[in-house]
Amino acid sequence: MADQLQLLPERAAWGHQVHGCRWTWADAVVFSQGRASGSHVGEGSFARPEADAVIARRPGDSAWVCTADCVPILVASPHWVAAVHAGWRGTAAGILTKVLQAFLQGGIPASQIRIALGPAISGPAYQVSQEVAEQVLQSLPSGVDPQPALWPDPLPGKVRLDLRWINRAQAEAQGIPPEHIAISPHCTFGQPQDFFSYRREGALEDDQGRRCVQWSAIGLPKAAFDKS
């Protein structure tokens, strides 16, 4: 996939995703894996840091996340980019907010940031308990009406929740202009011909034992910097 994106495969960085709110630098991951063995990326020859977001700041580096219903979020700016894995726990903990704050504190103005929220389980399909919904909704900025993120569910104590809407609201609260936020219309749960869904399949492996996830990535092409 890195080749298709005109990125360097050996500089692809991803963390050990734990549904948390930690992020790491891509160059720190790439340096660690090279120091561990110098072997091909992906062989699992070293312990990846626990992180649900990766920020790339070095030409040639790329940031990656894998999802199977959670929201993959790509953040772009002229000098830094990031990939974020936002499930309900990460969303409740403000993983995207923390990444955007890192950008802003790094001197990157909100006006230069672009965000894409990729294919994920849609609000009408994502059934959660009312307790989970309340935890996630508490991450919304004060004064934001949560109703657009909610759908009724026929079962008592359950509700349907739109994680992408909530992450968009979190991004806008950090000053990202609404027109700089793109949201994929695709639902991983409702489109079995296109996407894998853990909720739909009940496992992360298919009947042949292959791990099934969607990968999302963004990078800083080295060639673009070489020309500047």
Name the pairing type of β-strands 181-183 and 158-161: unpaired
Which segments of the chain have a pLDDT < 70? 32, 34-46, 223-228
Give the model's pLDDT for residue 228. Answer: 43
The reported pTM is 0.90
Give the model's pLDDT for residue 81. Answer: 98
CA distance 96 to 65: 13
Q: Which domains does the chain have, with CATH numbers?
A: 9-122+180-227 (3.60.140.10)
Angle between helices 95-105 and 163-173 (to 10 degrees): 30
Give the model's pLDDT for residue 115. Answer: 98
Give the model's pLDDT for residue 210. Answer: 77
C-alpha dist (Å) from residue 173 to 60, 89, 169, 170, 213: 31, 19, 6, 5, 30
CA distance 136 to 118: 19
Give the model's pLDDT for residue 37. Answer: 43
Give the model's pLDDT for residue 40. Answer: 40
Give the model's pLDDT for residue 207. Answer: 75
